[in-house]
Structure 1
């Protein structure tokens, strides 16, 4: 009877240790998940900021200013503009 009690006690201790180990691993994984979710939110914010910046850099007035100042481009005179339409389409 004493051997059975010792065996059962040993089984209970092993089960208790495995429960503690499993809970510890679960907590570590949850902490890792939380940090990755925080990083995801941070990257989403940064992505939104980058898209706003890209839209700002691509505005028509800015592009036109660069074309005029740096590339010395200008709008052609109305007499020199030629329009083309697809063949076979009547307007």
Structure 2
């Protein structure tokens, strides 16, 4: 009788352990999928950041700013007589 009880306990322990292994593997797969999704989002954000840096450099170009100031805003370089240097 004791032997049958021990065999039953051992069987239950093995089954419970197997269920924990299955659950752990499932969680690992879910976390891996989440990791891949986050890596893809990171790569997209890095691409967007690079594009925005390039756009900022293009828009902030001194020649472009001067051209817009002259053409659209009607600004011009003042005469040398009208320039006052302040220290």
With normalisation by structure 2, the TM-score equals 0.90
Aligned to 1:41: 43
The count of aligned residue pairs is 85
Q: Say which SS state the counterpart of residue 34 (structure 2) adopts.
A: helix
| Secondary structure of the structure 2 residue equivalent to 1:74 | coil
In structure 2, C-alpha distance between the alignment counterparts of 1:57 and 1:33, rounded to whole Å = 36
**Cα distance in 2 for residues equivalent to 1:33 and 1:10:** 34
Task: State the superposition RMSD in angstroms.
Answer: 1.0
Q: 1:52 aligns with which of 51, 54, 66?
A: 54
1:79 to partner: Cα distance: 1.7
More helix by share: 2
Scaled by the length of structure 1, what TM-score is found?
0.86
Runs of 4+ in 1 over 2 A off after TM superposition: none
Are 1:79 and 2:81 counterparts? yes
